[in-house]
Structure 1
Amino acid sequence: MVDRPKKIRVLIIDDSAIVRQTMTSVLEADPEIEVMGTAADPFAAAKRIQEEVPDVITLDVEMPRMDGITFLRKLMSQCPIPVVMCSSLTEDGSDTLLQAMEAGAVDVILKPKVGVAEHLTEHNLQICDAVKAAAKARVKGRAARVARSSAPEKKLTADAVLPPPSGRAMSRTTEMVICLGASTGGTEALRQVLEALPANSPGVVVVQHMPENFTRAFAKRLDSLCETDVKEAADGDPVLRGQVLIAPGGKHTMLERRGARYYVSVRDGPLVSRHRPSVDVLFRSVARSAGSNAVGVIMTGMGDDGARGMLELRQAGARTFAQDEATSIVFGMPKEAIAHGGVEKVIPLSQIAREMLQAADR
């Protein structure tokens, strides 16, 4: 008799009965996930956790009796469990969601104030992926149980977005371009890397898997912490020394070369590897436009987004690095990039800034 893989047990905490019901339906439609219970507020949730500890919690921000951020902080100090924040807060509340990531949440799901059931149902794949990623996350030194994944569904590649390659050889330029890709756990990992960059760092373009209306607040927060200028990328922005461009949520960001200078193109397009922005879209565009003038880094995250792009970067002569397993919240994306042969060197988070700067200083 073959043992069936244990399902990911999820506790849903939300004051809305409609959200609790819809989230239960969405999650239990996935054969790898089981909803062990729901709670209308953190006090009810605490009692449920005393009875049985879930693998993952989905947690609303705005709730009666205790807000989600306060509960998250208490939870992480007493019983660290992977948490996915689920909130109706959009751009105006992005700072609050950034606080949640700092407090230990591993991912964010946004929901509208109107039509929430339809929205959650429509985004069922992203919600289930977020829960699966959280189940694999290391939270405050606690290694969560790793669930087996079923056969991946067919996904679009970056070819669905990228223009046909020009076939022109990549000639050397005086400026280098650094591209970074991250997902689950990436907000704090990127902060650590970007804070270590000097004010005259080579231009950097970042794809962090994030919802719309979240990346602008993320860029603003990083700008207040870093020596470099950090901004959300806009279509046509030049890639400048001393500046970091964050790909906007809900848009693909690509690198283009005009003469000896580089610019970003920000545009709509289908989900690539279930993401928009996609790391593969950025990396493969950098391979085509910058070639050996580039440095690529793949960081913590679930899935394989960026693996093919890393290989193209390396084949084009770029220097390529991956964050190591010990310092990754989820080792999925770096592991896949390594398996594809696109990674030149595997390094811990604390060394990424130094290594990529040395690689760019040719």
Structure 2
Amino acid sequence: MKKLVHGGDIYSERNIKTIVDFSANINPLGLPKSVKEAIVSNLDNYMNYPDPLCRELRQAIAKHESTLADNIICGNGAADIIFKIALALKPKKTLLIAPTFSEYEESIRYIDGEIKYYDLKENKEFNIEKDILDYITADLNMMFICNPNNPTGIPVKSKEMIEIVKRCEEKDVILVVDECFIDFLKDEEAYSISKFIDKYKNLIILKAFTKIYAMAGIRLGYMICSNELILDKVNAIGQPWSVSTVASKCGVAALNEVEYVKKSKENIEVNREYLIDELKKLGFKVFDSKANFIFFKANDKELNVKLEEHGVLIRSCRNYKNLGDGFFRIAVKGEKDNIYLIDCLKKIGVV
């Protein structure tokens, strides 16, 4: 049986009645009202096959992203598209950040590609430094970068990201930028480079409805790219109905939720600062996350196991490359859950 490497495993059998899941980084406000209404109001449409071209959804995304619908490919979550990119483009050598989201490596391993790593350093607070440009060499075919990074939550400003895009362009490297968490940033315009998609033909942007719209169980993501050859290759991979009618209708509804997103940002900011302050008071080393999750280090390597006894799930980061025991990630949840987590940590009494 496949071993689970992600958070959000609330389905495993446990000897506890209540689970508070801090291991998955989902918007604590839950599904927007309009998304719930879209699920119910379109019930009669579910007897038909979905639109394999996702025409209505792609038009809505194009308007939201200020680009052309032809520049968009939709999929069954961002992870689905990551594998499609790897299968379609078959990079022989890929540069990855370490630590980062595991599906990049999984997709490259699946096609037997070689991987080169840029190791983030604890003594540099896990920040991406300017020397990353030296790692982008002519023998590379592809690079993945998560902005803000998962599990650290640390973003890279758009100015620095554009330097990376340009270096990749010079070396004929395709750059895949995962912006799935960028919607949670207070000033996302200072970090996102999706507006440059038409300018750089070596650039692919990944986004998803999973986190910001709390649609993890619905599964919906997309990529943006202005390179027709790349788009044609990725479009040719996979089965034609990877996006269900339910997901498509939910996506169209979600993109109109401007106030919901604004409220979500404000809610995350307040609760993130509370958690960071409380974790620091307890003696944990907390890194400078700007996303909807917090990355920290504890002396107690079994902290996740002890918290589970209290019905709390957190993400151990021991399986991330370049991390070891003692690193953990928690989602930023609502006030009541956050207070409960801190109370549980105080009861455990160790850091």
Q: Specify if TM > 0.5.
A: no
Q: Which has the higher strand share?
A: 1
TM-score, scaled to structure 1: 0.29
Structure with more relative contact order (C-alpha pairs < 8 Å, separation 6 or more): 2
TM-score, scaled to structure 2: 0.29
